[in-house]
């Protein structure tokens, strides 16, 4: 969360829940423990029972993670960044919770996807999140052209992300491959003091100087 206290952008219900929950499914244990400590400093770390879930976790390993629920304990899902279950491996655990008949309770918190859409000025009634685009330049160009056409044909805002250390290259790809008048929104470091959000045509972005290197960034295009 940088220099911003976690509770500055989270509702009090999150703190209340963390005070009561000891079982967690998380992306990285170290990050989760740090987050929990920042929310409830007095909580004893030794009481926490944490299991990790990521893209390498096998399907047969996920369902047993929810066994504490069957014994009467609540299990929390914590994402490293963004909103749990949205573009997040924790969604797989939620899937099995429904299969087991376990009640799922979403807690309100900042979603970079929704916050970026709110600040973009683009169509918020019809948009799609596309995750990561291809790394290969040729494949990426083709995908950008496809998304640009979708945006124009259906008035649909197209969102995607990039590995933070390739953000600058992504912005360059957008300015080189999209039509001059296609609008691009760059939403970076959302909720942090260094937050940067700007919408402008592709041709104008060629003149804008901004360093996105290793900064969490969401890109949105609207044809």
| Topology agreement, domain 6-99 and domain 112-222 | no
6-99: CATH topology: Cobalt-precorrin-4 Transmethylase; domain 1 (3.40.1010)
Digit-coded pLDDT (tens) for 47-83: 999 999 998 999 999 999 999 999 999 999 998 877 8
In contact, 47 and 68? CB cutoff 8 Å? no
Domain residue spans of the chain? 6-99, 112-222
Chosen CATH of 112-222 out of 3.40.50.1100, 3.40.50.2300, 3.30.950.10, 3.10.180.10: 3.30.950.10
pLDDT confidence bin for 3, thresholds 50/70/90: very low
Cα–chain center distance at 195: 15
Q: Is 84 exposed, middle or buried (0-12, 13-18, 19+ CB in 10 A)?
A: buried
Q: What is the pLDDT of residue 96?
A: 95
Q: What is the pLDDT of residue 150?
A: 97
Beta partners for 76?
Answer: 24
53 to 20, 83, 159: CA distances (angstroms): 22, 15, 25
Which residues contact residue 205 at a Cβ distance below 8 angstroms, ignoring those fewer than 6 apart? 171, 174, 175, 184, 186
Q: Supply the pTM of this predicted model.
A: 0.85
**Angstrom distance (rounded) from CA 207 to CA 204:** 6
């Amino acid at each position: 969360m940088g220099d911003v206290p976690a509770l500055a952008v989270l509702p009090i219900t999150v703190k209340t829940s963390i005070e009561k929950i000891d079982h967690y499914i998380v992306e990285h244990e170290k990050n989760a423990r740090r987050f929990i400590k920042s929310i409830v400093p007095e909580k004893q770390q030794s009481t926490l029972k944490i299991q990790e879930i990521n893209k390498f976790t096998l399907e047969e390993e996920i369902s047993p993670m929810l066994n504490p629920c069957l014994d009467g304990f609540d299990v929390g899902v914590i994402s490293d960044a963004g909103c749990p279950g949205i573009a997040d491996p924790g969604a797989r655990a939620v899937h099995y919770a429904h299969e087991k008949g376990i009640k799922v309770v979403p807690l309100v918190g900042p979603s970079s996807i929704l916050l970026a859409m709110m600040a973009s000025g683009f169509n918020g009634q019809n948009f799609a999140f596309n995750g990561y685009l291809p790394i290969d330049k040729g494949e990426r160009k083709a995908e950008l052209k496809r998304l640009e056409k979708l945006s124009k044909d259906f008035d649909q805002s197209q969102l995607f992300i990039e590995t933070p250390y390739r953000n600058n290259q992504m912005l360059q790809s957008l300015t080189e491959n999209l039509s001059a008048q296609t609008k691009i929104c760059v939403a970076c470091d959302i909720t942090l003091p260094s937050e940067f959000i700007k919408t402008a045509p592709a041709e104008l972005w060629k003149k804008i100087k901004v360093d996105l290197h290793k900064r969490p960034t969401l890109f949105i295009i609207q044809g």
